[in-house]
Amino acid sequence: MLGYSERHLTRVVTSELGAGPLALSTMRCAYLARSLIETTTLPMQDVRIAAGFNSLRQFNDVIRSVYARSPTWMRRAARDRPRPPEVWGRITVRLRTRTPFDGQGLLHDLGACAVDGVEWVGPTQYARTLRLPGGPATVRLRFEADHVDCAVRLHDLADLGAAVARMRALLDLDADPDAVDHVLRADPRLAPAVTANPGIRLLGSTDGTETLVRALVEHSDTTSSPQEKMNRLVSAAGEKLSEPDGELTMLFPTATVISRHGWNFVPPSVQRTVRAVCVDIASGDLPLHVGVDHSALYAQLHSYPGISPRMAEHVTVRLLGDPDRLRADDPEARAGAKVLGLPAKINDLARHGEGWRPWRSHAHAHLVRTSHTSKFHPDTTKAPR
């Protein structure tokens, strides 16, 4: 599919990541299996299926090889540790992350425009629906200081790995906050923002179509709120869950559905663009996944009439999780820079941001957060002169 031989692909991946595709896949399965063994009461056969192993023998051999312990021993050793509460009909997995972890910041960002029926946000929780290969699913996340409890309701147990991977990407749980904060705190002007929000994370994506369409619709030029505009699209073109999960009742519409009739329910100013991108997503001409090159995706998005350079960069960063992109033309980032005593002009801010490599995306997040908080606390984040 990629046009490379298996041997060449293995050589490239090994050169870039230090291990071949098979080894990386095996480690991913082993990591998920360990999490299920230690934090759930699932039977080992179900753990094996959910983690993606083809046979019980392969499952046992890999776990012993990676962790030097049998699955049974690992579960027995974990019995005395605190577990997330189990809910009948769900699988609850503990998603570990490095600290500090700015979970409240993520919750604020997720709640800023939660779509009715698709998402729900509480003081310490976030819930949403997902389209997975085996069918629809719902996920409920509870944010703690050093982890996130993830309760998943699945149509197919084999989709558990995909659900966990999407949640980790959405919340940037694999970030290294100590490394990020160390670099950014070295800038005395940015340091107050880093101290105020240690462990800031980059909001990711659970679905490329949803991320792109929401960016277009939410930023369209109408008097309606972003949430009202998205609710109209989902209520008209979304798919109802056959078994609602509390507040979660709808799946976000697919690119195919939007390209056929869903585009009629978005603001007129973006209808042509929404329809065009969804036609190309549905046909495969616009790939939206983590394997796409950043520059290529940015250029393709920017080629559509109605997608500005800033929006193309915003969507690309959300989809690919690139940690080193400073959007110096973002008005909110420039406003935050001004509060902190940093250069507020686009070119000046871009030059100053060279010192924030390789974490310029996190610096951008700090600038935007500063812009938001300074509206209510104008003096709390200003750097000393």
Q: Are 338 and 385 in a shared domain?
A: yes
Q: Which two tokens stand for residue 96?
A: 């570990």
Strand 125-132 to 135-143 pairing:
antiparallel
Rounded to an integer, the average pLDDT of 357-378 is: 86
The H or E element that residue 32 is part of is helix 21-39
Domain count, the chain: 4
| pLDDT for res 205 | 96
Residue at which a domain ends, from 78, 101, 117: 78
**CA distances from residue 325 to 83, 313, 357 in whole angstroms, order as listed:** 38, 8, 9
What spatial distance separates the first Cα and last Cα of the chain, rounded to whole Å?
56
88 has a pLDDT exceeding 60: no
Which CATH number goes with the domain that contains 229?
1.10.340.30
CA 366 to chain centre: 17
Residue at which a domain ends, from 22, 55, 78: 78
pLDDT-based confidence at residue 203 (cuts at 50, 70, 90): very high
18 has a pLDDT exceeding 70: no
Q: In whole angstroms, give the CA distance from residue 47 to residue 49.
A: 6
CA 147 to chain centre: 15
| pLDDT for res 190 | 97
Which CATH number goes with the domain that contains 45?
1.10.10.60
Q: Are 239 and 376 in a shared domain?
A: no
Which CATH number goes with the domain that contains 138?
3.30.310.20
Q: Are 215 and 251 in a shared domain?
A: yes
Give the total residue count for the chain: 385
125 has a pLDDT exceeding 50: yes
Query: What sign does the dihedral 253-259-262-268 (CA atoms) show?
Result: positive
pLDDT-based confidence at residue 379 (cuts at 50, 70, 90): very low
In contact, 153 and 90? CB cutoff 8 Å: yes
Which DSSP string corresponds to 353-375?
Answer: GGGGTT-HHHHHHHHHHHHHHHT
Residue at which a domain ends, from 320, 346, 371: 320
Most confident range, picked from 44-48, 88-92, 205-209: 205-209
| pLDDT for res 16 | 63
Question: Does some domain include residue 84?
Answer: no
Question: Does some domain include residue 271?
Answer: yes
| pLDDT for res 89 | 60
**Average pLDDT score over the chain:** 89
Q: Which two tokens stand for residue 87?
A: 């809910």
Q: What is the pLDDT of residues 134-176, one digit of tens each?
A: 899 999 999 999 999 999 999 888 888 889 989 999 999 999 9
Q: In whole angstroms, give the CA distance from residue 236 to residue 117.
A: 12
105 or 31, which is more confident?
Answer: 105
Domain that holds residue 191: 175-203+324-385
| Ramachandran sector of residue 112 (left: φ over 0; alpha: ψ -120 to 50; beta: rest) | alpha
Among residues 158, 156, 104, 163, the alpha carbon closest in space to that of 128 is found at 163
Which CATH number goes with the domain that contains 359?
1.10.1670
Among residues 204, 219, 201, 226, the alpha carbon closest in space to that of 311 is found at 219
Q: Are 243 and 307 in a shared domain?
A: yes
DSSP tag of 3: S
